[in-house]
Amino acid sequence: MLKSFFLDFFYRSFLLHLVLVAAFLTVSTMAFAQTKPRYSLQLVDAAGTFPTDIVRLYSFKNRSNRYNALQDVRFEMFRRGHLSFSVDSIHEYGNKWIAYVHSGPRFDWAMLNRGNLDGATLGSIRFRDKIFYERAMNPRQVSELFESILEYCENNGYPFATVKLDSVSIDNGKITAGIYMERNQLVVIDSVIVRGSTKTNPAYFYNYVGIKPGSIYNERLVAAADQMLSELPFVTAFKPTEVVFGEELTKVRYYLNERKASRFDGILGLQPDELTGDITITGDVKLAVQNAFKRGELISLNWRRLQTATQDIQVRFDHPYLFNTPFGMNLGFNLFRRDTTFVQVNGHLGVSYMFSGQDYIQAFVEPTQSNVISRSFNPSDGLANASITLFGAEVNLVDLDYTFNPTRGYQFFLKGAAGSRNIRKNPEIDDSFYEGIELRSTQWSGRINARTFIPIGKRNTVMLGVKGALLQAQTMFINEVYRIGGLHSIRGFDEESIFASAYSIFTLEYRFLLEKNSNLFAFFDGAWYETDTRNEYVRDTPYGFGAGISFETGAGIFSLTYALGSQFGNPIQLRGGKIHFGFVNFF
């Protein structure tokens, strides 16, 4: 009993002391806040010409803020045309400053004429004389005008140009002046020198960066050179780009070493055939040979066999800057066999006009053959033999800080095509199957793929992406439409398990950068699609979400993704999760 009394006494005493300490700290903090000194600034203009709408009395918690306030007032007075504004003296009385200022007269523009600027320069800088006609003289506007003129000169061969006001006159506070630009020496690039271990043809860098021997100096291209070269997978810069100006010759020097860019990645597996019981090889294998002939070309092969009797083979060849011109060539071949049901063969022949960097526009032709191969063909399967020839164009725009693991920038791809479609009758099928179907018709298609990276701090980024496609014809068959699902579209689903004549996929992905080529990520893929074919109409909004890691080792880059998905409103099931595994080896 006595022990319980003492424990209760000490417990209550401890609480009382705790409350008293808290109260003491609160009162002390309030007292300190009340006694913390404040600083003030008062502006006094003896002449009485100081603008009445500018605050004259300021109060601050920080002493240094008074200097910032004076600077802000000075800039505001300059903006209003009081070019001779000055702070004559400052008197300090304890925590109070009294600043005696001189506003001076206001200067206005009577007129600022174009002076000796030519039409090309005026069109580039978008000079508007109305801004400088009977308005307050603003030095910042003049500075911005001069900067735009000098920037135009730097990008058009005159990096040493100068600009100033000429024929200045002042009448009753009204300023009249003209612009005088002196271009000075025209600078022409004499040579572009590539130093380092790279064996890539220098002509490739001429076209890729846009700086060629014999071209006029362009400061914009020079400033962007290092960033553009960093986006190339087969070289790495060991020193920044240099420009050496001589009295007669100007040289540009790149310092580039060779880097492994060709890559092999994929996964192989063994799976028993459901019909024969034989063991078959399945997998997804990609081989990309980059810059083998030292001209920036790409040769790629992708073989996929994700089901026992289903195979997909894609071959691609890209050659940029043919014959040292801005034109490139693109060849493609794709063969898809869906078990014993149908086979589809696609071709692609394109001619690209290459801009600097990875930007291009392309015109192309794509022939397609889709044939039913099933011996037990049933009209209810919604299949037909078709021949299609599409003509179209595509545009690709890229501005990423690092291609393999970006943190900022964007990528935009848009493709559209139209052409003729011919349905070939199957002699084993009754003609009634083709009633109401136009055997010859026009087919339209479009595709978009865009993504942007928004950095958050130094090691975090958020990626927003959208993918979409549309296939439009009078009557569609299941062996003609798109196939989506899997690692490169909607994660959490089997590869190409969804057939769609139109779809749109939105992606939100967060990435935490571990190293230059490694990151942790979490994502959400939300999609809408519809399948509008001869025998069925389906519309759904599937979605998938998950997380993963991509990390670099001495052998290559490994990636592991775990994703869950749902479609047709079904609940998420953990046992239905998909694990996507990848490996990339550079050589």
User: Do residue 340 and residue 407 come from a single domain?
Assistant: yes
Res. 12: pLDDT tops 90: no
Task: Express each pLDDT in 431-488 by its tens digit.
Answer: 777 777 888 999 999 999 999 999 998 899 999 999 999 999 888 888 889 999 887 8
| Nearest C-alpha neighbor of 125 from the set 179, 77, 74, 71 | 179
| Nearest C-alpha neighbor of 546 from the set 469, 471, 493, 478 | 493
Of residues 404 and 330, which shows the higher confidence score? 330
Q: What is the pLDDT of residue 234?
A: 92
In this structure, is residue 275 part of a structural domain? no
| Nearest C-alpha neighbor of 539 from the set 522, 527, 555, 554 | 527
Question: Which of 41-55, 211-225, 229-243, 330-344 has the lowest average pLDDT?
Answer: 41-55
What are 91's two structure tokens?
């008197």
What are 386's two structure tokens?
């078709």
Integer Cα distance of 492 and 499 in angstroms: 16
CA dihedral 551, 554, 557, 561 (to 10 degrees): -50
User: Do residue 138 and residue 237 come from a single domain?
Assistant: no
Res. 218: pLDDT tops 60: yes
Domain ends where: 144, 166, 182?
182
In this structure, is residue 302 part of a structural domain? no
The Cα angle at residue 105 between residues 103 and 110, in degrees rounded to 5:
140
Res. 205: pLDDT tops 80: yes
User: Do residue 385 and residue 482 come from a single domain?
Assistant: yes
Q: What is the pLDDT of residue 268?
A: 65
In this structure, is residue 270 part of a structural domain? no
Integer Cα distance of 336 and 344 in angstroms: 5
| Nearest C-alpha neighbor of 233 from the set 266, 265, 256 | 256
Integer Cα distance of 567 and 577 in angstroms: 13
Integer Cα distance of 105 and 539 in angstroms: 72
Q: What is the biggest distance separating any 2 CA atoms in the chain, rounded to whole angstroms?
A: 107
User: Do residue 62 and residue 166 come from a single domain?
Assistant: no
- Which CATH number is 114's domain given? 3.10.20.310
In this structure, is residue 230 part of a structural domain? yes
CA dihedral 419, 425, 426, 429 (to 10 degrees): 130
User: Do residue 491 and residue 413 come from a single domain?
Assistant: yes
Average pLDDT over residues 187-212: 94
Q: What is the pLDDT of residue 88?
A: 85
Res. 19: pLDDT tops 60: no
Q: Which backbone phi and psi does 132 adopt, to 5 degrees?
A: -115, 30
Q: Which backbone phi and psi does 309 adopt, to 5 degrees?
A: -115, 15
In this structure, is residue 462 part of a structural domain? yes
Average pLDDT over residues 54-83: 78
Task: Express each pLDDT in 124-159 by its tens digit.
Answer: 888 887 888 888 888 888 888 889 999 999 999 999
Specify the DSSP class assigned to residue 135: S
User: Do residue 537 and residue 402 come from a single domain?
Assistant: yes
In this structure, is residue 195 part of a structural domain? yes
Q: What is the pLDDT of residue 14?
A: 46
DSSP line for 343-400: EEEEEEEEEEEE-STT-EEEEEEEEEEEEE--TT--GGG---EEEEEEEEEEEEEEEE
Res. 35: pLDDT tops 60: no
Integer Cα distance of 323 and 203 in angstroms: 10
Nearest-10 crossing angle of helices 219-230, 202-209: 120
Q: Among residues of the chain, what percentage have pLDDT more than 70?
A: 89
Determine contact, residues 112/132, Cβ cutoff 8 Å. Answer: yes
In this structure, is residue 337 part of a structural domain? yes
Question: Per-residue confidence at 230, pLDDT binned at 50, 70, 90?
Answer: confident
What are 419's two structure tokens?
């052409």
Integer Cα distance of 455 and 462 in angstroms: 6
User: Do residue 478 and residue 517 come from a single domain?
Assistant: yes
Q: What does the radius of gyration of the chain's CA atoms come to, in whole angstroms?
A: 35
Res. 11: pLDDT tops 50: no
**How would you class 23 by CB atoms within 10 Å of its CB: exposed for 0-12, middle for 13-18, buried for 19 or more?**
exposed
Domain count, the chain: 4
User: Do residue 136 and residue 159 come from a single domain?
Assistant: yes
Domain ends where: 242, 258, 274?
258
Q: What is the pLDDT of residue 24?
A: 46
User: Do residue 152 and residue 212 come from a single domain?
Assistant: no
What are 128's two structure tokens?
């508007």
The Cα angle at residue 115 between residues 109 and 120, in degrees rounded to 5:
120
Res. 27: pLDDT tops 60: no
Q: Any residues with CB less than 8 A from the CB of 354 and at least 6 apart, and which? A: 207, 320, 321, 326, 327, 328, 360
User: Do residue 400 and residue 548 come from a single domain?
Assistant: yes
Question: Which of 69-73, 167-171, 553-557 has the lowest average pLDDT?
Answer: 553-557
Segments forming the whole domain that contains residue 169: 108-182
Task: Express each pLDDT in 337-391 by its tens digit.
Answer: 987 788 999 999 999 999 888 899 999 999 999 888 876 666 666 788 899 999 9
In this structure, is residue 34 part of a structural domain? no
User: Do residue 89 and residue 145 come from a single domain?
Assistant: no
Rounded to two decimals, the pTM is 0.75
Q: Which backbone phi and psi does 571 adopt, to 5 degrees?
A: -70, 155
| Nearest C-alpha neighbor of 492 from the set 524, 520, 465 | 524
Domain ends where: 74, 102, 130?
102
Of residues 220 and 91, which shows the higher confidence score? 220
User: Do residue 171 and residue 51 come from a single domain?
Assistant: no
Q: Any residues with CB less than 8 A from the CB of 197 and at least 6 apart, and which? A: 256, 257, 258
Q: What is the mean pLDDT of the chain?
A: 85
Task: Express each pLDDT in 501-540 by its tens digit.
Answer: 999 999 999 999 998 889 999 999 999 999 998 888 999 9
Task: Express each pLDDT in 234-268 by its tens digit.
Answer: 999 999 999 999 888 899 999 999 988 888 877 76
| Nearest C-alpha neighbor of 526 from the set 577, 485, 490 | 490
Q: What is the pLDDT of residue 36?
A: 53
